[in-house]
Amino acid sequence: MVTGEIQIRVRYAETDRMGLLHHANYLVYFEQARIELLRQTGGNYKELEDQGFFLVLSKVEVKYKSPAYYDDVLTIRTTVTRSSPVRIEHKYEVFRADGKLVAEGFTTLACVDRAGKLQAMPDWLSRAE
């Protein structure tokens, strides 16, 4: 399995009135972690898109376990859990610096062409498991 980690510090603008990381920002963090994982494996989204391959989110799930707060440094561990010629699935684990699990997430991305029609991913990406 392909796995990578990044760290993100929770910015004030990403929190709600109670000082908690707003739930919508987890999806932004997941995307950032996915992009970095792709980069770590030698690819990048810009090159994929320039070649006519677009990865669109077709399913997302987040399980919130414990709050994250302004200025927390979070580690997001991203793992490719399954891939096929047209889809790739990721699991995300978000940890605070004290090791506490903050959230788990799961996404499915489908590969489409410029017209939005399902197409096969490049071979190197569909074997990223």
Q: State yes or no: is 16 an active-site residue.
A: yes
Neighbours of 104 (CB within 10 A): 16
Cα(51)–Cα(65) distance, rounded to whole angstroms? 39
Residue 107, Cβ density class (10 Å: 0-12 exposed, 13-18 middle, ≥19 buried): buried
Cα–Cα distance, 110 to 120 (Å, whole number): 9
Catalytic site residues? 16
